[in-house]
Amino acid sequence: MDGHVVDELDRKLLHALEVDGRASFSRIAAVLGVSDQTVARRYRRLCAESGVRVVMVRNAEQLGQDQWFLRLRCAPDSAEAIADALARRRDTVWIGLMSGGTEVACMTLPRSPGDHDELLLGKLPRTPSIMEIRAHQILHRFHGGPDGWFSKFGDLTPDQVAALRPELPPHSGPAHLTPEDEPLVAALKRDGRATYPELQKATGRSESAVKRRLGTLLASKAFYLDVDYPPEIVGFPVAASLSITAEPAALHSVGETLAGHHEIAFAAATAGPSNLVATAVAKDTAGLYAYLSGRLGSLEGVRHVETTPFLRRVKQVTYRPLRG
């Protein structure tokens, strides 16, 4: 299915998984009005042929952990190797080659201040083929993370979304993670749809204990389930990183407006020379130009936009080496 755009039912299935990544095939089938076997077959095909995966992701913002957007200018023959090495790290997401293959964009997802220091103050500065490091701390996320992109397109009706939304236990207080949670989190990072017997085996805890703890972690928003898929399969093969400078008084309103644009897959306020970073996706280059010169270009409060197309996505949520 590589290079092939999915059909309407596949899009609805992906949207359903975005609402609840652990919803049973029978529940999804009932909402979509098809058979259980059809949903199971479609899901397995998407996984096998397009690399679709449901995975648990740490919510850095909710856990109070710093997150950084990095732009690394590299020697021309080293950017791909650096991107691949970063992609293998557990503390990175959303890695791409940009600027004709001489620049790497990377989002960090550190588990601790030590992770952050080791990468930004240790590993990267000692890499001789990295010519320049631009680090932008994420200050506020407007869209992305647990906010699903498919929700912007209305593949499912509001009633269908409501029927799929998981029932989570009530939660109050700050999100937190204990050492005992690590085996559970690790298993769900490998497969967010792992069965409760599989999670029991991975953790050594009873199925009921695993189910309760997973519900608590999701209710606390310390973690969320994400659907990892190549955007080209849903008809958006063109992507670009946008570094936007907005008037300080307009920063929040510009960010909120960007979050509502269907072309924007991610948007956040940052520290650094620009104060917003976003990822725009489009069906083709003409579509990207239309967005930049139209809705974005006319947005009140925007002073400057630097557009850097992605040459290749190396990692979104999970890393899959290129097939030989």
- Could you read off the pLDDT tens digit of each residue along the chain, which spans 324 residues? 444 678 999 999 999 999 999 999 999 999 999 999 999 999 999 999 988 999 998 888 888 788 899 999 999 789 999 999 888 888 888 899 997 788 999 988 766 666 666 777 677 878 889 999 898 999 999 998 888 888 888 789 999 999 999 988 887 777 778 889 999 999 999 999 999 999 999 999 999 999 999 999 999 888 899 998 888 898 899 999 999 999 999 999 999 999 999 999 999 999 988 999 999 999 999 999 999 999 999 999 999 999 999 988 888 777 665 443
Residue 190 buriedness (CB in 10 A; 0-12 / 13-18 / 19+): middle
Q: Is the dihedral of CA 185, 40, 315, 321 positive or negative?
A: positive
Token output for 151: 């929700």
Phi-psi region of 292 (alpha: psi -120 to 50; beta: other; left: phi over 0): alpha
β-pair partners for 196: none
The alpha carbon dihedral of 13, 14, 20, 24 has a sign of: positive
* 50 CB burial (10 A radius; 0-12, 13-18, 19+): buried
Provide the whole-model pTM.
0.86
| C-alpha to C-alpha distances, 151 to 14, 36, 90, 243, nearest whole angstrom | 11, 23, 28, 24
The whole-number pLDDT of residue 271 equals 94
Q: Give the pLDDT confidence score for residue 112 in this predicted structure.
A: 65
Domains recognised in the chain with CATH numbers? 235-312 (3.30.70.920)
Whole-number pLDDT of residue 258: 97
Cβ neighbours, 10 Å, residue 174: 9
Q: What letter would DSSP give residue 282?
A: E
| Residues comprising the chain, all counted | 324
- Mapped to the 3 state alphabet, what secondary structure does 27-94 carry? HHHHHHCCCHHHHHHHHHHHHHHHCCEEEEEECHHHHCCCCEEEEEEECCCCHHHHHHHHHCCCCEEE
The token pair at 137 is: 């701390």
Q: Render the burial of 268-296: b for 16+ CB within 10 Å, e for the rest.
A: bbbebebbbbbbbbbbeeeebebbbeebb
pLDDT at 115: 65
pLDDT score for 321: 58
Q: What are phi and psi of 128, to 5 degrees?
A: -65, -25
